Amino acid sequence: MPVAVYVLGLSVFALGTSEFMLSGLLQPVARDMGVSIPTAGLLVSAFAVGMVVGAPVLAAATLRLPRRTTLIALLAAFGLGQVAGAVAPSYGVLFTSRVVSALACAGFWAVGAAVAVSLVPVNARARAMAVMVGGLSIANIAGVPAGALLGQHAGWRAAFWAVAGLSALGLVGVVALVPRTEVPTGEDTPRLRNELRIYRDRQVWLALISTALNGGAVFCLFSYLAPLLTEVAGLAESWVPTVLALFGVGALIGTALGGRIADAHLFGTMYVGIAASAAVLAVLALTARYPVAAVTLALLLGFTAFFTAPALNARMFNVANAAPTLAGATTTAAFNIGNTVGPWLGGLVISAGWGYPAVAWTGAVMATLAIGTTALASRIHQAESGSRVVMGATAARDAESARATH
């Protein structure tokens, strides 16, 4: 695996820490800003909304720019967004800083994924994406629990300053180790109109929906994991960083295993991972009041959720292969549509007075729907004669030209 792919994974560690650390900071943020926990939970959705909007918009806007230059600019903007969050005087300013940071994060993810995939052979795509997703897993093991500890002992703002520092380290790595790329010219020049053609393909939409439902299922629960642990399972608040770290351990193991299996068994990996997440969420809904069960199932949810992630990423690049930048952007947007809708639905359930276990039930329903869309995509895939032969972007354009001349 090229070293540049690992550098991108390291940068994603900083991005992922910022994206998910509020799950362990909801209570201190809510207290400091004078808002309810569901309102504080909207900060998670705010970041996800920024990711949804930012991924396709920035992918389109930077389509003809050198990818390395784009990565540097976006990572710098993300770091500045963390500084703005750290000094935010009000909830409104903090909310805005989360959206702005997410826009930069989304652009980095979209372009970074395209770079990672371009640096490896076709049959190593899931492994390359596993390295990037692994950055998220490590963020959950180290970054998110560390953010929770900082929030408890040095104030939640210290966590934002720490992520700003991580962003600076990632920026140094990208500048030093990600290879320079020239702007494509002539027939190879990326054209937005051509890349947008991927959205005519129903398989692209099915991949998007499956990814969004899977992400929503997991983060519907994960966003409110801390209060579930303290208010339902009865654990002390000091336990939250440990449980978040266990979720991250499960995520790292799941990413590594899923990345190795997915290249050879794409749909099988998706079926197993999503179904396992649905089962874990359902069992958690039934046993959340038992501390041992809650902690164990949090670890298992990390494993099942991230076991599926490399396959979902690789699937999108396969069905939208002729438009790699928009494929990465679409995957990023899809994950974060789920990360937006999931916490929002969880907040509605909590506000309705149904309790935190009902949030796990909501996630289980979303995962079940994801199994259905995956099954439909698999059926169409098998029915299409000679479909989804993985081609490079140039090969795809050549094939399209050949069809046009006949």
For 57-91, the pLDDT digits (tens) are 777 777 777 778 888 999 999 999 899 989 988 88
Per-residue DSSP letter, 322:
T
pLDDT band at 369 (very low <50, low <70, confident <90, very high): very high
Ranges 6-20, 85-99, 127-141: which has the least confidence: 127-141
Instruction: Give Cα separations from 136 to 12, 16, 266, 355, 378 (angstroms).
Output: 6, 5, 21, 28, 27
pLDDT band at 186 (very low <50, low <70, confident <90, very high): low
Provide the 10 A C-beta neighbour count for residue 292: 9
pLDDT band at 150 (very low <50, low <70, confident <90, very high): confident
Q: What's the number of CA atoms in the CB half-sphere (13 Å) around residue 104?
A: 23
CA distance 117 to 126: 9
In the predicted model, what is the mean pLDDT of the chain?
A: 80
Instruction: Give Cα separations from 79 to 21, 101, 126 (angstroms).
Output: 15, 8, 28
Share of the chain above pLDDT 90, in %: 12
Number of H helices, E strands in the chain: 17, 0
> What would the pLDDT profile of 291-326 be if each residue is shown by its tens digit?
999 899 988 998 998 888 878 877 877 776 656 667
Amino acid at 207: A
Per-residue DSSP letter, 182:
P
Q: Which domains does the chain have, with CATH numbers?
A: 3-401 (1.20.1250.20)
CA distance 138 to 255: 10
Helix/strand/coil for 63: coil
CA distance 26 to 13: 20
The length of the chain, given as a count of residues:
406
Higher pLDDT, 182 or 19: 19
170 backbone dihedrals φ, ψ, rounded to 5° = -60, -40
Q: What is the mean pLDDT of residues 23-29?
A: 79
Higher pLDDT, 138 or 297: 297
pLDDT at residue 65 in the model: 76
> What would the pLDDT profile of 372-396 be if each residue is shown by its tens digit?
988 888 888 777 744 443 333 334 4
Indicate if the pLDDT at residue 399 is higher than 50: no
> What would the pLDDT profile of 191-231 be if each residue is shown by its tens digit?
666 667 777 778 888 888 988 998 899 888 887 888 888 88
